[in-house]
Amino acid sequence: MLYSKHAKLLLGFAICVTFAASCKLPKYKMIAEPGSIAIFEQQKPTNFGTKIYSATIDGKYGIKKYHLSGLLILKQLEDSTTRAVFQSEAGLTLFDFEWHKNHSFKVVSIIPKMDKKPLILALKKDFEILMKINLQHENSFKTQDGDYISYIYPLERGFVDYRLLENQILDIKVFNDHKTYISFLPEAPYLITELPNNIRLVHHKAKFTITLKALENYAPTE
Amino acid sequence: MKHILHIFLTLNLCCWSTNIFSQTSDYKSITNPTSLKQTFANKVNNTSSIESNFTQVKQMKLLKENLHSSGKFYYKKEQKVRIEYLKPYNYLVVLNKGQLFVKDNQGKGNKVNTKNSKSLKAINQIMIDCMSGNIFNNADFTVTSFENNNSYLLKLTPKSTEIKSMFKNIEVYFDKKNTQIERLLMNENNGDQTDMKFKDIKTNINLSDALFQTR
């Protein structure tokens, strides 16, 4: 029993060291409890139904500023498919993304001006992190810093860190090489099982911010 | 990453989805629209301003429920339009001589020169032409006309590939008695529809230029 427990600790430590060496993680106080992350994953927002946000995208390219606004509709269908639709306030659909229950991703529709791979991949990643879709369970782990707990998942490049306090998400960071390049900053902590009401997705390197504000009183009717 | 920034920078879209309501079964095609064109030409000459309330319903295949919004619409000769969404979100669009000003639900304003965007310019022009009656002269759409006892129906089919990629067509309904616009319907390529209905329409009233300031 004792040997088994030490073996698990060594395995967990080996995983952490490997990542620390090859992927340049920040200095976390690591807890070798890879199994505990399953609890976090089980509590993802799976039944949020329909969430409608007033959405804006602000950025700066050189000396030029740009601004785009619309409505972002996040919808979970009965067959466990998830959709993210962005449309102008006047109703025109700008893009429509779909995640099948088997986690495959599909662009249902997108206007030509937005049909660019880097943009699609950036938005895809943002939504997946927000809705906790397609997180790589393998090589994920949990860390703790005082009362704050982090669940860290590897990405294709870098990591995503969900930071929690008392089962509520305080913020989410995407980082690599000790630098945070995307911050998800909710206006207030929110439960793991829900989506935030108001949140900013700050892309530090790309210098643009997506701001989402839930339309609380917007109750669609038949 | 520069690609993403460039995309956002050039993406200036303000699309008025006009719902295209496909109940055209009782409409008959107007094979010779000469008389109708003259009627609309007279409307252009005789209409200096319009103020109305509007409701908008977005029907999406994705959602069982429809999305409802409402607001106020203003038009003033020449080329001035103000569309103000009031519920359930605030969204303001002002067009004035090729300049577009947008103010979103979070209170941020953005000024755009539509001359740099063909698609944006085309969409802006459609709105102005629909309200003023100048629709038959619009160069970006093919117009086919229909009528029943109460209404004229103009079907606008986009000519350019760029606008075709945004939506399938627009149907515009006019009251036969006074050629006032009643309804705008836009059919998107994915089957979704946006339905904009106008009511409490007032014409030729005094509208302040301040309503159409692009700042």
- Asked if residue B12 has pLDDT above 80, the reply is no
pLDDT band with cut points at 50, 70 and 90 for residue B136:
confident
| Mean pLDDT of all residues in B122-147 | 83
Q: Which stretches of chain A are DSSP H helices? A: 2-23, 37-42, 117-131
Q: What is the DSSP letter of B17?
A: P
Beta carbons of A97 and A105 less than 8 angstroms apart: yes
- How many Cα atoms within 13 Å fall on the side-chain side of residue A97? 23
- Reduced to 3 states, what is the DSSP secondary structure of residue B71? strand
Q: Range with the lowest mean pLDDT among A5-19, A164-178, B104-118, B197-211?
A: A5-19
User: In the numeric block, which tokens belong to residue A149?
Assistant: 């707990």
Give Cα separations from B127 to B101, B117, B123, B207, B212 (angstroms): 15, 16, 7, 18, 15
Among A27-31, A175-179, B6-10, the range of highest mean pLDDT: A175-179
CA distance B179 to chain A (A): 24
Q: With CB atoms and an 8 Å threshold, state whether B167 touches A92.
A: yes
> What is the Cα gyration radius of chain B?
17
pLDDT at A192: 85
pLDDT band with cut points at 50, 70 and 90 for residue A69:
confident
- Residue of B1, B5, B22, B10 whose CA lies nearest to B194: B22
pLDDT at A38: 62
- Residue of A95, A18, A173 whose CA lies nearest to B8: A95
For residue A83, list chain B residues with Cβ-Cβ distance below 8 A.
62
- Helix pair angle (A117-131, B2-10), 10° resolution: 100
User: For all residues of chain B together, what is the average pLDDT?
Assistant: 82
How much is the ipTM here? Answer: 0.73
For residue A95, list chain B residues with Cβ-Cβ distance below 8 A.
none
CA B24 to centroid of chain Cα atoms: 19
Note the pLDDT tens digit of each residue in A141-182: 888 889 999 999 999 889 999 999 988 999 999 999 889 999
CA distance B198 to chain A (A): 14
Phi-psi region of B91 (alpha: psi -120 to 50; beta: other; left: phi over 0): beta
Q: In terms of pTM, does the model score above 0.80?
A: no
For residue A94, list chain B residues with Cβ-Cβ distance below 8 A.
13
Q: Range with the lowest mean pLDDT among A22-26, A58-62, B158-162?
A: A22-26
- Reduced to 3 states, what is the DSSP secondary structure of residue A51? strand
Q: With CB atoms and an 8 Å threshold, state whether A75 touches B85.
A: no
Q: Which of B60, B100, B118, B165 to mutate to test the interface with A (most CBs of A within 10 A)?
A: B60
Chain B contact for A106, CB < 8 A? no
3-state secondary structure B124-190: HHHHHHHHHCCHHHCCCEEEEEEECCCEEEEEEEECCHHHHCCCCEEEEEEECCCCCEEEEEEECCC
- Asked if residue A138 has pLDDT above 90, the reply is no
In percent, the amount of chain B with pLDDT more than 70 equals: 82
pLDDT at A163: 95
pLDDT at A46: 61
In percent, the amount of chain A with pLDDT more than 90 equals: 38
pLDDT at B24: 56
